[in-house]
Structure 1
Amino acid sequence: MKNIARSLMVVGIAISLTACEWEFGTIDDDEEGRLSLDLADAPVDDLTEVNITVVGVEIKPSDEDALVFTYEEPRTYDLLELQNGDTAELLSSEDVPAESYEWIRLNLSPQSGAHYVVGDDGGRYSLAVPSGAQSGLQVNAGFSVEAEEDIELTLDFDVRKSVVASGSTLADYLLRPVLRLVINDEVGAITGTVDESTVIAVECADVQDYAGLVYVYQGADVAPDDLGSGTEPVVAVPVTDEDDPGTYRYQASLISEGNYTVSYSCDIDDNETDEDLAFIDSESVRVEAGDQAEINFN
């Protein structure tokens, strides 16, 4: 289910990293593992690009200083290209000590204009990352690398929850990162359709402009609520007929194995506002690693 987006818009991408800025002395092969890290995003409406520029990656062993991997040239990623299972490569089979780790951090470019968004009106707008130049984008999530193991991780970046209008002179938009780290071998997906005649045609005022969201909640039989509520969805993904006009589909990727509740709403959901959304046809579903569960709203 992992598709690497090789043709992403990546500015000045370097094939190799500079030498790792860490010293552990001589490490035998049987004391090392190999770590790969990808970047993905949950879909968002009303923006056509969300670009961040990354200069390197840090990972923090439990009992040592952070390992620093610095790119030869900064890499700019359009996060909105990283949807529906597509990912971009951050690290590829890097040798790391076999031990437990506490966090991963993306180090961001401090250059002016390095981060920006493009609206659906075609305009380019500034994007500020508060304290981004100092602390980067960090996710505190523990994981372990075993000796001689190849581990593949994905940093899932939820732009829908992360990007908000600024309302200040700092920038047009602010990035308040909502990140989660998943082990690729331990995730699946939820996909399906929303019937045009029985749901969308009734619930959505203009299906060409907005066909609603499918919400995914941790646990079975959860009463759905909006973004930013006490019952926060793991992800909310758009319904669209872009690939097959007249057939409305959705896909929630990188869902950890477990039980979930899936629901649909065509009401506009502003993650900065508490709204009373009308949800339709909540269903419970079990997600298994490596599989796609299918829930259709008919």
Structure 2
Amino acid sequence: MKLAVLPLMMFCGVGLSACGGGSGETTAPPTPTTATFNFQISDAPVDGATAVVVCFNSIELTGNGLGTQKYLIGSDAVAAAPNTECKNAQGQVIANTRGVDLMKLPGSLAEALVSGATVPAGNYGQLRLVLTDGSYIQLKDGSRAALTVPSNELKLNGPVLSAGGTFSYTLEFDLRKAVVATSGNRGYQLKPTGLRLVDTSQIGHLKGNVSETLLLNAACPLAPRENRLPVAAVYLYKGGNLAVDTLGDNGGVAPNLPYASAPVKYDGASLYQYEIGFVDAGTYTAAVTCQLTDEPEQADPLTFLQSKTVTVTVGKQPQQLDF
């Protein structure tokens, strides 16, 4: 850029008429008033389920003083295409919906819902995900149950989109926190307590293996017939070198509550693997347990087998952290 500009400046000093007249004034480029917005979703899986399908209808940015910026599935060029996954009680496909199985988006995998949207720049008060009926959870025994969201909306604090910038955000569904059984076991609710909105340019990913010997010594379940079933779980807490007895569960009141968690699963051959995606860069304490009961709305004290400190750095490739 500098090498290209310098000869042009020298040429203008010799012949001003070639640069727009003799006044010596130049026209400044217009100040940008818009930003580019990208939005995708990812997931940390939940124990005991083989599918968690959420039916998305639109994505909205609100509270910028310029009206709602709405992106309707299947109706806006920058929004994701609809599919036939979401159906009403009569079995009919619901228009302008995209059903996404969050269980298929573990770790660093994600699915885009908005790509390349041009929006007025500014500080948005809320990011809203408008859902429809038809969401469901499929349990490991093959049965299905309705998955509902109060008012069919998930509301999060909105992002700041500065003029001229390109911004990509990922909504991470930590289903071990977000999926709650309703009273009377009539289905499940998806709550915003297990959602994290992160700036995709400022995150990293973790993955690793858990030693079979470590699991065996703790009497954890090994080599299940169904590879999708967890044998243990890895929890992540903000801050390094945290004492194990200060680490709590998803519904507890311990000094340190989980930032994220993920199941450990057998690969069918010899490895027990986990992956935690879309983690804000920083220092964390990671800990592994073979206790799989962790209700998001009640305390379930956990016994950890081992903990380690890890510094997550920005990058697309997952960092390796083994136990």
Normalised by the shorter chain, which TM-score bucket? 0.7 to 0.9
TM-score of the superposed pair, with normalisation by structure 2: 0.75
1:123 aligns to 2:143 (yes or no): yes
Aligned-residue offset at 1:61: 4.1
Alpha-carbon distance in 2 for matches of 1:82, 1:29: 39
In 1, Cα distance between the equivalents of 2:117 and 2:301?
47
Query: Any idea what the Cα deviations from partners look like across 1:271-297, whole Å, max 9, x if unmatched?
Result: 233223211221111111116433211
Per-residue CA deviation, residues 139-162 of structure 1 (Å, 9 max, x unaligned), is: 124x32222221111111111111
Deviations 1:211-265 (A, max 9, x none): 21010001112232222123321111111122x6211111111000111000000
Aligned to 2:322: 296
CA contact (8 A) 1:204 1:211 kept: no
Equivalent residue runs for 1:22-33 within 5 Å: 30-33=32-35
Q: Does 1:163 align with 2:179?
A: yes
| Higher-Rg member (1/2) | 2
Deviation at 1:90, TM superposition (A): 0.9
Match 1:96 to one of 116, 119, 126? 119
Distance 1:99 1:276 in 2: 43
Partner of 1:281: 306
Distance 1:188 1:278 in 2: 27
Tell me which of 240, 245, 259 is aligned to 2:283.
Answer: 259
CA contact (8 A) 2:252 2:301 kept: no
Q: Which residue of 1 aligns with 2:91?
A: none
Structure 2 residue identity aligned to 1:81: K
Indicate yes or no: 2:263 matched with 1:238.
yes
User: 2:50 maps to which residue?
Assistant: 48
Q: How many residues align?
A: 260
- Is residue 2:248 matched to residue 1:225? yes
- Select 1:248's aligned residue among 252, 262, 272: 272
Matches within 5 A, 1:65-214: 65-71=67-73, 72=75, 73-109=96-132, 111=133, 114-132=134-152, 136-141=153-158, 143-168=159-184, 171-177=186-192, 178-197=194-213, 199-207=214-222, 208=224, 210-214=230-234
Larger relative strand fraction: 1
Give SS of 2:99's match: strand
SS of alignment partner, residue 239 of structure 1: strand
Assess if the C-alpha contact under 8 Å between 1:285 and 1:293 holds in 2: no
Structure 2 residue identity aligned to 1:203: A
Distance 2:135 2:206 in 1: 31
Instruction: Give the match's secondary structure for 2:184.
Output: coil
Contact persistence 1:33–1:96 (CA under 8 A): yes
The answer to whether the Cα contact below 8 Å between 1:226 and 1:269 also exists between their aligned partners in 2 is no
Question: In the aligned structure 2, how far is the partner of 1:286 from the partner of 1:210?
Answer: 25
What do the CA deviations read for 1:179-204 (whole angstroms, capped 9, x no partner)?
Answer: 1111111000122211102x111224
What are structure 2's unaligned runs of at least 5 residues?
1-29, 76-95
1:5-44 equivalence runs, <5 A? 30-44=32-46
Taking structure 1 as reference, are residues 149 and 103 closer, same or farther at Cα in structure 2, changes over 3 Å only? Answer: same
> Sequence identity of aligned pairs in percent?
29
In 1, Cα distance between equivalents of 2:67 and 2:278: 29
One-letter amino acid matched to 1:259: T
Post-superposition offset of 1:96? 0.5
Structure 1 gap segments, 5+ residues each: 1-27
Equivalent AA in structure 2 for residue 78 of structure 1: D
Query: How much has 1:205 moved relative to structure 2?
Result: 4.0
- The aligned amino acid for 1:225 is G
Contact 2:58 2:71 in 1 (8 A): yes
Name the Cα RMSD after superposition.
1.9
Determine helix, strand or coil for the equivalent of 1:245: coil
2:160 partner letter: S
Letter in 2 for 1:60: T
- Residues 46-55 or 275-284, more deviating: 275-284
